[in-house]
Chains A and B, each alone.
Chain A
């Protein structure tokens, strides 16, 4: 029976024989240009910076030249590197906890509207309270500076992940929900096979926002809370260099922060692409 139908389909294929749509591919030239164009723009900006220093004879204690910053990166690496590790640790720990907590709490929240009504206000209050205002308090309440910084970064990264996940879990196609009900799916199966995959685009958005924010929050919290000695992060190095008028080192610390931010953005974008590129519009090229 199956063969007969298949054969007839091939023989008298109707208008829907527009078989598999070819996935758009990038040409080699475009792929190279995609790297060269942004690189050139960054180098150009650095060139302008150097030009500005030379033409206006800006002194080093106002603004260092790009060369000075690179030298500082090299000579001060022994000071900067441990601080970078501290900042990275806080950032990723905070992001990790925010991911687990945000996704977990979102799953709990969507189980019933009463749970959501009861818990959501706290999430909103945490979000709208300026973190820089509560950081000094956290320093008092937390056992040590590190955990205070971690808490600050977590609070900031947590909310976008939570609210995105709640939106995602709620925006499941109603017909698919009906389908799952029809086949007698239990709550667990509906969550695992339907709601979680359907909210992947929202998760990806939350991850990208949360990733960037956790770094910013880790730095801002350290500005507000302060730290010193062994546990000092890059924000402390920024402040310290500023006080000492050691601007090449300040710029070097700043550049390390920027590189970290760009790396986090690239990593979260890559994760989003890996999750979505086979099926979701947001990660696909237009085919015309």
Chain B
């Protein structure tokens, strides 16, 4: 017999994709990038980590991805198979701030990389690569080299590469910060669509109130000195998040709410308390 309370705790546990428990990160130069950070990421969430620069949001993302370890605390993957490096097997995709493509390789070979490193042959990988490229609208560019693509298209290739392993969790580290506003809105629409159409969980690091308010159904606001979570906002809307939503009253109210939370976080960071 299982107690109802225990059962619901189990169910909650099952819905967790990853959780950070008391994670701190002290860099060798003495900077305390993260202090006792706790974060539960639930399945299907589009979670934005929002905060001023230096608040440790990218550091947190990198620790989750296994790039650099925490000084203390741990990362739990409740419902994933863990490999020897303590990471979930093929379950995580990462999109960097820069497209980070191999300039000597074609678009196809760039997207092939994660599968190639897992020992999948090119012919076996090809349908998955093409599907992934099609999902970001670049099916016709498999033979192009990165230098022949615009900034937005390079970013799309980077997203296709992250999606090619069909990860359950997609980590994005300020992916569109360097793009112009129009391209960025376009890519935001595409990421939202991908998120809606698959059951993928997204953790999206950004310093843009508007971007996070548009994309997320949950925004975790962080402060600097030391990096800590200081607000956890749920963003619910019945409206379809599209071009109309961008000009709606509801969106403005949301951005106001997020702005205030960010303002508080910045003040806390400035006071250094």
Assuming A14-B186, A21-B148, A182-B67, is B96 touching A5 (CB within 8 A)? no
In the assembled complex, B270 has its CB within 8 A of some CB on chain A: no
Assuming A2-B134, A15-B180, is B103 touching A279 (CB within 8 A)? yes
Assuming A1-B135, A18-B150, A197-B104, is B186 touching A12 (CB within 8 A)? yes
In the assembled complex, B73 has its CB within 8 A of some CB on chain A: no
- C-alpha spacing A175/B103, complex, angstroms: 13
Assuming A178-B67, A182-B65, is B117 touching A6 (CB within 8 A)? no
Q: Interface segment, A183-191, A212-220, A240-248, A265-273?
A: A183-191
In the assembled complex, A16 has its CB within 8 A of some CB on chain B: yes
Taken residue by residue from 81 to 119, chain B's Cβ proximity to chain A (1 for < 8 Å, 0 otherwise) reads as 001010100001010101010111100000001101110
Contact A183 B118, beta carbon cutoff 8 Å: yes
In the assembled complex, A239 has its CB within 8 A of some CB on chain B: no
Contact B149 A20, beta carbon cutoff 8 Å: yes
- C-alpha spacing A175/B113, complex, angstroms: 14
- C-alpha spacing A115/B201, complex, angstroms: 44
Which residues of A sit under 8 angstroms from B186, Cβ to Cβ?
12-14, 16
Contact B104 A200, beta carbon cutoff 8 Å: yes
Contact A180 B117, beta carbon cutoff 8 Å: yes
Contact B94 A179, beta carbon cutoff 8 Å: yes
Which residues of B sit under 8 angstroms from A183, Cβ to Cβ?
113-114, 117-118
Assuming A6-B137, A184-B83, is B183 touching A16 (CB within 8 A)? yes
Which residues of A sit under 8 angstroms from B148, Cβ to Cβ?
20-21, 23
Assuming A6-B134, A182-B65, is B183 touching A20 (CB within 8 A)? no
Query: Which positions 120-171 of chain B face chain A at CB distance < 8 Å?
Result: 131, 134-137, 139, 141, 144-153
Number of interface residues of A (CB under 8 A): 41
In the assembled complex, A141 has its CB within 8 A of some CB on chain B: no
Assuming A18-B150, A279-B103, is B96 touching A179 (CB within 8 A)? yes
Q: How far is the CB of B79 from chain A (nearest CB, A)?
A: 20
Taken residue by residue from 190 to 218, chain A's Cβ proximity to chain B (1 for < 8 Å, 0 otherwise) reads as 00011001101000000000000000000
Which residues of A sit under 8 angstroms from B179, Cβ to Cβ?
16
30 A-B interface contacts by CB (under 8 A): A2-B135, A4-B193, A5-B135, A5-B194, A6-B134, A12-B186, A13-B186, A14-B152, A14-B183, A15-B150, A15-B183, A16-B151, A16-B152, A16-B186, A20-B144, A20-B149, A175-B98, A176-B100, A176-B102, A178-B67, A179-B100, A182-B65, A183-B117, A183-B118, A184-B87, A193-B116, A197-B102, A279-B146, A280-B104, A284-B147
Contact A15 B114, beta carbon cutoff 8 Å: no
**What total of A-B pairs shows CB separation below 8 Å?**
105
Contact A5 B66, beta carbon cutoff 8 Å: no
In the assembled complex, A79 has its CB within 8 A of some CB on chain B: no
- C-alpha spacing A141/B204, complex, angstroms: 66
Can you add 17 more A-B contacts, CB < 8 Å, to A16-B152, A20-B141? A1-B135, A2-B134, A5-B134, A6-B139, A10-B137, A14-B182, A15-B152, A16-B151, A16-B153, A20-B148, A20-B149, A21-B149, A179-B100, A193-B102, A194-B102, A197-B105, A284-B147
Which residues of A sit under 8 angstroms from B3, Cβ to Cβ?
none
Which residues of A sit under 8 angstroms from B136, Cβ to Cβ?
5
Taken residue by residue from 1 to 40, chain A's Cβ proximity to chain B (1 for < 8 Å, 0 otherwise) reads as 1111110111011111111110100000000000000000
CB-nearest residue of chain A to B137: A9
In the assembled complex, A76 has its CB within 8 A of some CB on chain B: no
In the assembled complex, B185 has its CB within 8 A of some CB on chain A: yes
- C-alpha spacing A17/B183, complex, angstroms: 9
In the assembled complex, A286 has its CB within 8 A of some CB on chain B: no
Q: How far is the CB of A41 from chain B (nearest CB, A)?
A: 34
> Which of A5, A20, A180, A279 is in CB contact (< 8 Å) with B137?
A5
Which residues of A sit under 8 angstroms from B76, Cβ to Cβ?
none
Taken residue by residue from 218 to 234, chain A's Cβ proximity to chain B (1 for < 8 Å, 0 otherwise) reads as 00000000000000000
- C-alpha spacing A23/B144, complex, angstroms: 11
Which residues of A sit under 8 angstroms from B197, Cβ to Cβ?
1
Contact A182 B94, beta carbon cutoff 8 Å: yes
In the assembled complex, B45 has its CB within 8 A of some CB on chain A: no
Query: Which positions 121-169 of chain A face chain B at CB distance < 8 Å?
Result: none
- C-alpha spacing A264/B15, complex, angstroms: 65
Which residues of A sit under 8 angstroms from B211, Cβ to Cβ?
none
Contact A15 B182, beta carbon cutoff 8 Å: yes
- C-alpha spacing A204/B183, complex, angstroms: 37
CB-nearest residue of chain B to A284: B147
> Which of B66, B117, B146 is in CB contact (< 8 Å) with A189?
B117
- C-alpha spacing A278/B147, complex, angstroms: 9
